[in-house]
Chains A and B, each alone.
Chain A
Amino acid sequence: MTTTEERANPIGFGRMTRKEDARFVRGRGNYVDDVRLPGMLYGAVLRSPYAHARIVSIDTSGAEAHPKVRAVVTGQTLEGLNLAWMPTLSHDVQAVLATDKVRFQGQEVAFVVAEDRYAARDALELIDVEYEPLPVVVDALRALDPDAAVIRDDVEGRTDNRIFDWEAGDAARTDEVFAGAEVVVTQDMLYPRVHPAPLETCGAVADFDKVTGKLTIWTTTQAPHAHRTIYAMVAGLPEHKIRVISPDIGGGFGNKVGIYPGYVCAVVGSILTGKPVKWVEDRSENLMSTSFARDYHMHGEIAATRDGKILGVRVKVIADHGAFNSTAQPTKFPAGFFHVFTGSYDLAAAHCEVTGVYTNKAPGGVAYACSFRITEAVYLVERMVDMLAAELGRDAGELRLANLLRPEQFPYTCATGWEYDSGDYPRALEKAMEIAGYAELRAEQAAKRERGELMGIGISFFTEAVGAGPRKHMDILGLGMADGAELRVHPTGKAVLRISVQTQGQGHETTFAQIVAEELGIPPEDVDVVHGDTDQTPFGLGTYGSRSTPVSGAATAVVARRVRDRARIVASAMLEVAPEDLEWEKGRWFVAGDPGQGRTIQEIALAAHSSLELPEGVEGHLDATCVYNPPNLTFPFGAYICVVDVDPGTGQVKVRRFIAVDDCGVRINPMIVEGQVHGGLADGVGMALMQGIAFDEDGNCLGASFMDYLLPTSLECPSWELGETVTPSPHHPLGAKGVGESATVGSPPAVVNAVIDALAPFGVRHADMPLTPANVWRTIQGRPFRTDLAIS
């Protein structure tokens, strides 16, 4: 047996390289487009060139005559199957293929199934659609105008584009606080529409077996079980006859939570042709039609005393949900967790009103590593705090330190009702300022300002709320947000863990094996993690909202502890002592007071399958299952500092340094945690500086390729400087909190605050993302433009 010192991998938590990498570095990953089945056909979607138009006619005869085409599906075909519309994750409906009219540019109109993907693409050219263009609603701020075209006239009685009005917090108390405040700062700001743009686009291979009635779908999904249930609801197929397989996923970031029309079309194509059908969207399709995020037009207000005590925050939002309300978020929360905009501060009162509206844009609203709109919430409050600091003439770091929640206030219930589990906020911010050399940076900035050079230092402090969630409060389409886990320990002591969450790069095969290792002492390489196949794994809602570790990680800890409890009984039979006389050390039960007398988990596993006589009422084997229903969310937090240089002559921004101190509770694999943070920081730089999807007055999407929708490269990203503090979650079995989205949530305001700080000599107080060179230059000129509309 190898000793711990000689081992490359820890038995439990700690840094270890990833088990999944062996296949990825050899090009042996298996993504959806790698799936090839005998007789497989290929689908392609015809999309609308118009943002809003009535469909007069669709002539598919040309495509049908193509020698390689096997089927052409339109909305009319689907109506016959009762599949033309499908439910969204927010209790709306969305057209699978348009029947009456198209409502955004890029909407699905027809689906061709052909013998190869080139022929399928060719056949799209042979479909003749006649459209009658209609007035377009592009500007969310005008969507409720009395003369705005009604987009969703498919819903009987609908006379406007209002989806919902929702509020949180105590309006009267907040008004009172604001009325009595010495200082109130107000600002309109837009968190613009962005797209997650995973490098792998969305797709599916559907294989319907007419004989067995079984439908197997390989698909890009972050939530295979939820998809299975929704397919059952949409297609009317019995759920036990549906198998969803999520193979390797080339990044998700929220883009792969929902069900897209293309998936349903692939299923229909397979049913119609009796052959497997593959559909994989191209990049433009991905950017034009799948889950966008943000698009929050916010009117923020912050109230404080003259000496800098923050009292309250008030915000009104127009939320642009596009043509169908297809956001994925817990049913009770139409604005997600936006009402955590109280942030990291002890406020006397807070209130928000959110109005959701339809526009002629792709459906979406919540996707992209946002933790159910905490991204918008953190951006709002952190921008408002910076503006307050400017108003008061206070240092932004010092003002935050004076107002952050104190460690002794936890658990803390915020003004809008969230119970923050644990935290030591000042420690995290002080650490970030120390790594940054904050005082020196401010001195350098002052010297540069003297010379007319623009340097900015931006801080953000965020509190995340992840791990949705407690079942009584949180469900999606009626499915409670709990997750299952099953753990089998084979006779030789090797284990197989089956989980309901689905990695898109987060490294579940490694970290979840480490959880089992930590709890049972079985080396992680002896634990196989099975996921992404609904026929092989227990039900659960999948990976998004940074919920894998908080929910499924907890499930894994609990199920491992159940195995450990069973092992104790077996060990007691082996050692002929009472179970309560045994003590556990990692990997072994031993007799209390006699450490030499013990049995390893491997020995116990073999005995559990042997003829050993077990106490009455105790079954053999060690296998266990569990479902974890989290008692609360977990609340990771962090302090970020960004340093930028701005060229006043061109408006170009260079991110020189980025310091991130994250506290996500106990870290299972610090290497993976740091990797998650790195990626989120790059995301933040991208959203703050370059990613943006505007629409022109006709509703044309102006960010429909990677030539127009710019993602950060290695040259825009600095070498990240990370720090950490560890404040365990008191209610999570491992003390872990989740980290997947922390950096995406926390970094944009740090970058924007830095740029605005750099522009302070020009009296600039705010500018909307993305802070492109043109936007920065125009802001310096005092003539900013709207970043959600075409530049004119």
Chain B
Amino acid sequence: MQVPAQFDYARATSVADALALLARYGPESRVVAGGHSLIPMMKLRLAQPEVLIDINDLTELARITLEGTDLVIGAMTRHAELLDSALVREHFQILGDAERVIADPIVRNRGTVGGSLCQADPSEDLSAAFGALRATAVIQGPEGTRTVPIREFHTGPYETVVGPGEILVEVRVPIRPGGGSSYQKVERRAGDWAVAAAGAAVWLDDSGSTVTEVGIGLTAVGSAHFVASAAEDFLRGAPATDESFAQAGRIAAENCHPNADQRGPVDYKRHLAGELTTRALSRAAARARGQEG
């Protein structure tokens, strides 16, 4: 059986403690939350940290709350908690849609929102979902906290702006009325990583006929920062029609850069980027109009 190489283990008791441990052990230490990305990589010895800092006791980071006009999701929120949250469902159906197809129920019991974002796997679903929602990451370090738009959070595959001595503590999602959202994913089998996926958040004018604001996230198709900005630019102010959504899909497809792998060839993934963008937009718009759940 695959087993990790040796390392030291420390369990953090608070965010401050976690930061102190990171400072003490330096760049060869890694924070572990649910562990469902990091531990498999350690078993394959693709990751060999010298020290693991376990933050599972930081229940202060496992919260879903409303603060002003922000929905605040703590980094230690388990996927299952996000999926089950009535508050999340009320405001952002896209997150429920995405969570329903992230891994499987048992993995979702353990894996965390922060862990998924920090792992920054190009096929990870929440990055696109939060990207569509224009969320903000709150990062804490020895110097205090800083906020980074989620669209600037990822610096490349498996890379983020979170520095060696820092941890992601929460994600803030602005709540604005008149919106609807949806996440559409194609996977080869339940629990598989996305072949491709698209998330959309749409805000309509009072009549429901014009798109006032839109966010489109793309998963696993090599889109910069997991978003389809050209398609968003096209759609903003456009009529909320099937034709517009189809055109936005075409633009999203043209501007992504998928790689071929056993999940599919480039042309198929590009096609999916468009198809799923269109579907997500239609669904999001319908939800914005209160037409479907």
Residues of A within 8 A of B (CB): 117-118, 121-122, 125, 280, 282-284, 649-652, 689-690, 692, 694, 702-703, 707-708, 710, 712-713, 715-716, 772-774, 777-778, 785, 790-792
Contact = CB atoms under 8 A, between A and B. Distances in A.
B189 A710 contact: yes
Contacts of A692: 262
The 3 A-B pairs with the shortest beta carbon distances in the complex, nearest first, are: A774-B264, A715-B190, A710-B189
B268 interface: yes
Contacts of A117: 1, 3
30 contacts: A121-B2, A121-B3, A125-B5, A280-B1, A284-B2, A649-B275, A650-B275, A650-B276, A652-B186, A690-B188, A690-B189, A694-B262, A710-B188, A712-B189, A715-B190, A716-B190, A772-B188, A773-B195, A773-B264, A773-B268, A774-B264, A774-B268, A777-B264, A777-B268, A778-B268, A790-B262, A791-B260, A791-B262, A791-B263, A792-B260
A125 B262 contact: no
A652 B194 CA distance: 13
Contacts of A773: 186, 188, 195, 264, 268
Contact of A125 (B2, B45, B268, B275): B45
B289 interface: no
Contacts of B272: 650
Contacts of A284: 2
Nearest to A649: B275
Nearest to A686: B189
Contact of B262 (A280, A283, A708): A708
B191 interface: yes
B41 to A, nearest CB: 12
Contacts of B275: 649-650
Nearest to A709: B262
Contacts of B5: 122, 125
Contacts of B188: 690, 710, 772-773
A101 B265 CA distance: 34
Nearest to A772: B188
B11 interface: no
A692 B262 CA distance: 9
A791 B261 contact: yes
A775 to B, nearest CB: 8
Contact of A713 (B1, B189, B193, B195): B189
Given A125-B45, A777-B271, A791-B260, A785 B186 contact: no
B17 interface: no
A788 to B, nearest CB: 12
Nearest to A787: B262
A785 B45 CA distance: 33
B159 interface: no
Contacts of A118: 3
B192 interface: yes
A743 B215 CA distance: 47
Contacts of A125: 5, 45
B250 to A, nearest CB: 14
Contacts of A689: 189
Contacts of B192: 707, 710
Contacts of A791: 260-265
Most A C-beta atoms less than 10 A away, residue of B104, B263, B264: B264
A347 B5 CA distance: 62
A619 B11 CA distance: 74
Contact of A772 (B190, B191, B260, B264): B264
Contacts of A122: 5-6
Contacts of B261: 791
A183 B189 CA distance: 39
Interface string B242-286: 000000000000000000111111001001100110010000000
A785 B191 CA distance: 24
B186 A650 contact: yes
B161 to A, nearest CB: 27
A121 B268 CA distance: 40
Nearest to A694: B262
B107 to A, nearest CB: 12
Interface string B16-28: 0000000000000
A713 B272 CA distance: 24
Nearest to B269: A774
Interface centre among A121, A652, A694, A707 (most CB of B within 10 A): A121
Contacts of B1: 117, 280, 282
Nearest to A120: B3
A713 B190 contact: yes
Residue picked from A690, A710, A774, A785, most chain B C-beta under 10 Å: A774
Contacts of B271: 777
A383 B190 CA distance: 28
B262 A713 contact: no
Given A651-B268, A689-B189, A710-B189, 16 more contacts: A117-B3, A118-B3, A121-B3, A282-B2, A284-B2, A650-B276, A690-B188, A694-B262, A707-B192, A716-B190, A773-B188, A773-B264, A774-B263, A777-B268, A777-B271, A792-B265
A652 B195 CA distance: 11
B187 to A, nearest CB: 8
Nearest to B189: A710
Nearest to B276: A650
A689 B192 CA distance: 14
Contacts of A710: 188-189, 192
Nearest to A650: B186
Contacts of B3: 117-118, 121
Which of the listed residues A707, A772, A790 has the most CB atoms from chain B within 10 Å of its own CB? A772
A523 to B, nearest CB: 41
Interface in B175-196: 186, 188-193, 195
Contacts of A715: 190
A707 B276 CA distance: 23
B141 to A, nearest CB: 33
Centre residue among B104, B189, B264, B272 by max chain A CB count within 10 A: B189
A777 B275 CA distance: 12
Contacts of A712: 189
A774 B191 contact: no
Nearest to B2: A282
A697 to B, nearest CB: 13
Contacts of A774: 195, 263-265, 268
A700 to B, nearest CB: 11
Interface string B209-227: 0000000000000000000
A125 B3 CA distance: 12
Contacts of B193: 707
Nearest to B271: A777
A211 to B, nearest CB: 32
A284 B261 CA distance: 19
Nearest to B266: A792
B102 to A, nearest CB: 14
Contacts of B265: 774, 778, 785, 791-792
Nearest to A712: B189
A614 to B, nearest CB: 58
Contacts of A702: 262
Interface string B45-71: 100000000000000000000000000
Contacts of A703: 262
Nearest to A201: B1
Contacts of B45: 125
